[in-house]
Amino acid sequence: MDGLEDRTQQIILETNRLRFATWVKEDWEEFRKLTSDPLVVRYLGTGVPWPEGRIKEFVNRQIENWEKHGICLWKLMPKDSDMLIGICGLQRLPEGPDVEIGWWLAPSHWGQGLATDAARQALAYGFDVSNFERIVAIAQSANRDSLHVMEKLGMRFENEAVHKGIRVVVYAITREIFNAARTKGEERA
């Protein structure tokens, strides 16, 4: 279909509550639950559920990004089951040098600190393993919950723009700032 090899999922990262896994092509069907939930897609693009072709394209792109670049938006699963409860990870922006972090959770898992936990782990991977100097996050200005995650991570507002008629904000964090926040956290623990 697309030359992508059919591999089994691998667990790449873990937190106390979450596992990050690579994708297999068949995951698109389970991922459809997220992409067809109006609460999840509300602030993604035009806010409408994704058609099947777009879901498959997304999954195939993650498989390819992982194989070629060692980063992707990984699947998030709880520690005790293989249920797909969200995504979190890294991808290169289509234009320019920047790498973007992204996160989505099923609404049943909101309000538990899981997105922030997952994002900290993905940032650590980006700085420690992929050796990036800086990571950005982009969200629609109206997506207060996502902006709140950025702020909790210590990301700093960079600029605001209008993309396809929708107001978006860009936040960023450097390796230096992330490491300083990490050291402070370790001292407190």
Residues that bind ligand COA (CB under 6 A): 40, 43-44, 103-105, 110-116, 139, 143, 145-146, 148-149, 152
Quick one: 47 or 51, whose CB is closer to ligand COA? 47
Matching residue, tokens 């899981």: 114
Instruction: State the nearest-atom distance from the C-beta of 41 to ligand COA, in Å.
Output: 7
Quick one: 40 or 63, whose CB is closer to ligand COA? 40
Pairing of strands 134-140, 166-174: antiparallel
Instruction: State the nearest-atom distance from the C-beta of 112 to ligand COA, in Å.
Output: 5
Instruction: State the nearest-atom distance from the C-beta of 173 to ligand COA, in Å.
Output: 15
Cα gap 20→86, rounded to integer Å? 10
Quick one: 67 or 161, whose CB is closer to ligand COA? 161
Cα gap 11→9, rounded to integer Å? 7
Of 31, 135, 163, 37, nearest to 84 by C-alpha is: 31
Residue nearest to ligand COA (CB): 113
Quick one: 71 or 87, whose CB is closer to ligand COA? 87
Instruction: State the nearest-atom distance from the C-beta of 74 to ligand COA, in Å.
Output: 14
Cα gap 95→178, rounded to integer Å? 24
Cα gap 113→91, rounded to integer Å? 22
